[in-house]
Amino acid sequence: MAILFKYNKQKDALYCVLSGGLDKNEFRQEIKGVVESTEHPPNIRSIWDVTELDFSQITADFQRELILIRKSFPERHPARIAVVVPDQLGFGMARMYEMLSMDVGDNLKVFYDFAEAEEWLLEAHE
């Protein structure tokens, strides 16, 4: 799995790209890096581009584990999070993740279109 982060200071948003398979330990380390960054606040609004993510091994149990990881970083909440997916499978998986993580306290929304996701993400800040 690869996770790339880029902070856009002008937009005050974190851009994240996930590709390949998803590894929960790497995910934990990357979220820790987001929280500990001195470049932006820990609950920075973010857009997650998962259009290159391999969804084939992701189960509801795996998603619950990712949610527990997110919960273990309370300084990350509340955050506004847009997730961009490639297709119906990705949309269904991301919507399940959204539903399972409702008690985390973040405002998470799933999109097919990157521009729409970015517009939604940035509108709350202006």
pLDDT of residue 106: 84
For residue 108, the domain's CATH number is 3.30.750.24
Instruction: Label residues 34-59 b or e (16+ Cβ within 10 Å = b).
Output: bbeeeebeebbbbbbbbeebebeebe
CB-CB neighbours of 88 under 10 Å: 9
The model's pLDDT over 69-89, given as tens digits with 9 standing for 90+, comes to 999 999 998 999 999 999 999
Which carries the bigger pLDDT value, residue 1 or residue 84? Answer: 84
Residues of the chain with pLDDT > 90: what percent? Answer: 83
pLDDT of residue 126 exceeding 60: no
pLDDT of residue 51: 97
pLDDT of residue 125: 58
pLDDT of residue 100 exceeding 80: yes
Q: What is the mean pLDDT of residues 55-72?
A: 92
How many structural domains comprise the chain? 1
Residue type, 94: A
**Domain span including residue 14:** 2-123
CB 106 within 8 A of CB 74: no
pLDDT of residue 124: 66
| H-run or E-run covering 115 | helix 114-123
